[in-house]
Structure 1
Amino acid sequence: MRENPYREDREGLKELLKQYQNLRNGRSHSFLEEEAFERIIDYFDDKDNVPEALEAAETGLEQFPYSSQLMIKKADLLLATRKYSEALEILERAELFDSSDINLYILKTDAYLALDQQSRAVELLEAALQLFEGEERLDLLFELADVYDDYEEFDKVFDCLKLILEEEPNNEEALYKICFWTDFTGRNEESIRLHQRIIEDYPFSELAWFNLAAAFQGLKLYEKAIDAYQYAVAIDEKFDYAYRNMGDAYLRLRKYKEAIEVLEKVLELTRPEDVIYEAIGHCYHRMGNYAQARFHYKKAVHLNPDDSKLHYKIAVTYMLEEQWQSAVKQLENAMRIHRSVPEYNLAMGECRMQLEQYKEAIHYFSAVVRNKPRNVAGWEALIKCLIKAEFFDEAIEQTQAALKSTEGKPIFYFYQSAIHFLEGKSREALLRLELAMEKAPRLLKKFLDLNPAILQNNQVVDIIARYKKGKKI
């Protein structure tokens, strides 16, 4: 047994390179076998010295002009230097001497793709599939999948991966890839059948369980997805992507407590990510635990300070607790990043209005209606603010603008009626209320919210009663 095979191998290569240099310089040298030239080419290639590697290939072919192996190595180097047509010529010649080398087909495929001849690459690989079996056939199927991807024949990518898994159900690379392509092509039912067959033979394949779960999730069968993810994590308790996806499935089912548990497991297993903290924050938010929601949103902001949406979400938790000034600070952070987002302006307007800073509130609400003139919520917020500030003339003007921009949404007739009542213009107010009730009696509650005391007005009560009897509120 050799004591230091690595050293012997290195010494042997050193001797080969010396003899090769002697050959090139015309000095006496030992005879170099075909295999020696292959080693010399690989040596220069590993050193990223492509010109020397090419020269070694050409020298080798002078000594062994019928060597398909040396031709293939030269073609590989020509591809690296973007000489695609030359590479194809050499590969055609190599095929005459040995058509059983899989590298021929893989390199030819690379050349065809580089020359934008995808159809020829597909034709070549489909023919080659008939010539090989076992590992080599699988390699060709992976190559064909890549070609179809490049060619944007995405369903055929899925077909290739499916064929691989039918031949080798536990092929890790194919299991990883088919999960993405199932989602991309929407072929979830096929994926479910395929992975159920795989699990029958390989019940401890966590990737097969994961892919089965992901396919169920793609069909919105969240309970079944969760069951399958739980098998995956039972097999591999550190399978962070299974916990991550399970968290999403629990979220979809509004099982926020369970979602938090599995998402916290993701944080234990991987480096912290803003999206995980944000998802946990969302769960606490939906559970009404705004302090914990804020805590996790702030952790997300720490990791991704330029995400304006996170600052906005923190602001919303403060707004729900009526901590208006704290909400303003967070909205200022959000608007430093993205100033014109309507939701941010709407929220800022609401905070300013609650703080009785009416002019500032009007400024923000006006920005919303400028950016989204058909958005009813923006107009409603602006008009409500003008009413609170007792700018009645301006409020009436804005109801007219709102009716025009929203193609006559009846809610704004209710607002006009409410404003006229507040101005003491009872006749105009009653006429507008009648028109509003004629068009949309279901919106009455919004009118009453503006001025609950209006129900003390008998004429208002009469109009409401009339529509309750005859029409249907």
Structure 2
Amino acid sequence: MRLSHDEEENNLSLSKFESMLKTNKVFFFDSEEFEDIILHYMDTGRMNLAKKALKLGLEQHPKSTGLRLVQVEMLVYEDRLDIAQKLLTELYAIEPNNEEIYIQQANIYSKRDQHEKAIDSLKIALDFTDDLADVYSMIGMEYLFMDNLEEAKQYFIKCLEEDNEDYSALYNIVYCFDFLDQNEEAIQYLEQFINKKPYSEVAWHQLGRQFYSLKNYEKSVWAFDYATLIDENFLGAYLEKAKGLEKLKQYKEAIECYNITMELDDPTSFALLRIGKCHEKLGNKDLALKFYLRTVHEDPLLDKAWIAITDFYIRQKNFQKAIYYVNKAIGIDGDNSLYWKRYAAIYQGMQFYEEAELGYRKAFEAGDIHLDTFVLWTNMLQELGEYETAIEILLQATEVFPEEYEIEYRLAGLYHLTANPKKGNFHLNNGLRLNFKNHTIIQEIFPLMWKKKTVQNIIEKYRN
């Protein structure tokens, strides 16, 4: 790629400077060359070289305001804010109309979390700058720090109006729309932007994402399609388009898109897994399994892939293979609650309740506190006749789900099983109060309790 004249000049200055350091000869640079050299080293994180360049620059140009302002920038970067402020006050007395003074002042305020003062300073800089887009963007960022997304959005919009090639501003605008749950407004804005700049693949991609958020998958695929037509190497747009095609149940077309992403870059575990899912939906079981296995080979820690293989065999009713793969997954990551939950579900399906109970217990110990985990776990304990343990677990569950009818009905039944009808009826009343409609689960899970006259009388009371 051919470099611009400015880039060539900058590269020559850098080469000349580094050559000077190696030979200990002293070469002359004008102050602007020094500024570019210092900022280059700061941008690339080589602070030692930046400091050397600054020292030499100030020796050759002791009165350069530009170099002093770069020095302020370096001090701010290093959090030496008091020294930076002192130097900036001196520079303000010399050049009160220099935009960079107000920008660096804003940086100091921002570092001190004084974002409103930073904005005031940047608004003054707007009066002196030729680069309005850059200052608008900085004001937008300050509003973001203050969580004022509406104002931030307006300034990023101003930035993009000044420089419609500034895609970071476009991303920030869409971020604000997303955060404010303004998908419809985002679509309207992006469509207006595309009318002015129809070949902006980034805008088409962002439009596709908005349609996808609103579950308008046809429109999302249409927008992603334009993004890929403008830039045939736009990997992200192909991925998003494939996801939309999956939602539309166009699995063959989705596979084609995922394949393109793997031609553009190394295969990702995400693409391999999704191709496997698409093949399974198409009934291509052998191909689905092949891609699932490739996924775990690519990323052995991807829980979704191991679960996909396990679920694949569960659907085939091949429980031995399902157990083999879920155990393999547990061997890789024994603290993954999703693996233990699958382990439990397989053994439950095989009516091996002790192993199923172990799986749900391990899932809970690994941090799973979902309602269905508590319910399934205590179902297994009930099958094993461990009513007291099941009650203890459900009482713990009420701390997480204080008003949950499924827990109350189960506690009612378990207390009746342990010959404690008083407590059982207390929880029965709770369950009926919370959700009368589902009271028939008592008949399914606790048939003996259901037949009790006292229980039927309590139910009758709530029926009316």
Q: TM-score, normalised by structure 2?
A: 0.69
| Equivalent-residue separation in structure 2 for 1:282 and 1:355 (angstroms) | 25
Secondary structure of the residue aligned to 1:407 is helix
Offset, 1:140: 0.7
> Which range moved further: 203-212 or 395-404?
395-404
| Equivalent-residue separation in structure 2 for 1:314 and 1:290 (angstroms) | 11
> Which range moved further: 337-346 or 87-96?
337-346
Contact 1:44 1:53 in 2 (8 A): yes
| Equivalent-residue separation in structure 2 for 1:443 and 1:164 (angstroms) | 60
Tell me the percent identity.
23
Residue 320, structure 1, aligned to residue 321, structure 2: no
Contact 1:301 1:311 in 2 (8 A): yes
Alignment of 1:294-333 (within 5 A): 294-333=289-328
Offset, 1:41: 6.8
Residue 83, structure 1, aligned to residue 80, structure 2: yes
Give 1:93's aligned residue.
Answer: 90
Alignment of 1:179-198 (within 5 A): 179-198=174-193
Structure 2 residue identity aligned to 1:241: G
Offset, 1:314: 0.8
Cα offsets for 1:7-39 (capped at 9, x unmatched) = 99799979999xx999xxxxxxx9x8xx73554
The total of aligned residue pairs comes to 401
Structure 2 residue identity aligned to 1:268: E
Secondary structure of the residue aligned to 2:156 is helix
Alignment of 1:21-40 (within 5 A): 36-37=30-31, 39=33
Give 2:125's aligned residue.
Answer: 128
| Equivalent-residue separation in structure 2 for 1:332 and 1:8 (angstroms) | 60
| Equivalent-residue separation in structure 1 for 2:19 and 2:290 (angstroms) | 67
Contact 1:250 1:258 in 2 (8 A): yes
Offset, 1:328: 0.6
| Equivalent-residue separation in structure 2 for 1:120 and 1:378 (angstroms) | 57
Structure 1 residue identity aligned to 2:124: A
Give 1:252's aligned residue.
Answer: 247
Contact 1:53 1:77 in 2 (8 A): no
| Equivalent-residue separation in structure 1 for 2:394 and 2:9 (angstroms) | 88
> Judging changes above 3 Å, is the alpha-carbon distance between structure 1 residues 252 and 6 closer, same or farther for their aligned structure 2 residues?
closer
Contact 2:360 2:376 in 1 (8 A): no
Task: Give 1:106's match in structure 2, choosing from 100, 103, 110.
Answer: 103
Residue 348, structure 1, aligned to residue 343, structure 2: yes
Offset, 1:231: 1.4
> Judging changes above 3 Å, is the alpha-carbon distance between structure 1 residues 57 and 369 closer, same or farther for their aligned structure 2 residues?
closer
> Which range moved further: 197-206 or 76-85?
76-85
Contact 1:410 1:440 in 2 (8 A): no
Contact 1:54 1:77 in 2 (8 A): no
> Judging changes above 3 Å, is the alpha-carbon distance between structure 1 residues 150 and 271 closer, same or farther for their aligned structure 2 residues?
farther
Give 1:69's aligned residue.
Answer: 66
> Judging changes above 3 Å, is the alpha-carbon distance between structure 1 residues 181 and 279 closer, same or farther for their aligned structure 2 residues?
farther
Q: RMSD across aligned C-alpha pairs, in angstroms?
A: 4.5
Structure 1 residue identity aligned to 2:123: E
Cα offsets for 1:103-137 (capped at 9, x unmatched) = 3333222222233322221111123224435xx00
> Which range moved further: 109-118 or 93-102?
93-102
Residue 141, structure 1, aligned to residue 132, structure 2: no
Task: Give 1:150's match in structure 2, choosing from 145, 153, 170.
Answer: 145
Structure 2 residue identity aligned to 1:329: Y
Cα offsets for 1:200-227 (capped at 9, x unmatched) = 2222221221122222223332222221
Offset, 1:323: 1.3
> Judging changes above 3 Å, is the alpha-carbon distance between structure 1 residues 246 and 412 closer, same or farther for their aligned structure 2 residues?
farther
Contact 1:68 1:94 in 2 (8 A): yes
Offset, 1:305: 0.9
Structure showing greater radius of gyration is 1
Structure 2 residue identity aligned to 1:36: D
Task: Give 2:329's match in structure 1, choosing from 328, 334, 343.
Answer: 334
Offset, 1:81: 4.5
Residue 360, structure 1, aligned to residue 355, structure 2: yes
Cα offsets for 1:28-83 (capped at 9, x unmatched) = xx9x8xx7355457667758345544544554565x4xx43343233234335543
Residue 117, structure 1, aligned to residue 118, structure 2: no
Residue 236, structure 1, aligned to residue 226, structure 2: no
Contact 1:251 1:283 in 2 (8 A): yes
Secondary structure of the residue aligned to 2:232 is coil
Contact 2:88 2:105 in 1 (8 A): yes
| Equivalent-residue separation in structure 1 for 2:362 and 2:20 (angstroms) | 77
Structure 1 residue identity aligned to 2:311: V
> Judging changes above 3 Å, is the alpha-carbon distance between structure 1 residues 372 and 158 closer, same or farther for their aligned structure 2 residues?
closer
- List gaps (5 residues or longer) in structure 2: 1-7, 398-406, 418-435, 452-464
Contact 1:281 1:297 in 2 (8 A): yes
Cα offsets for 1:329-354 (capped at 9, x unmatched) = 11112323454666544532443466
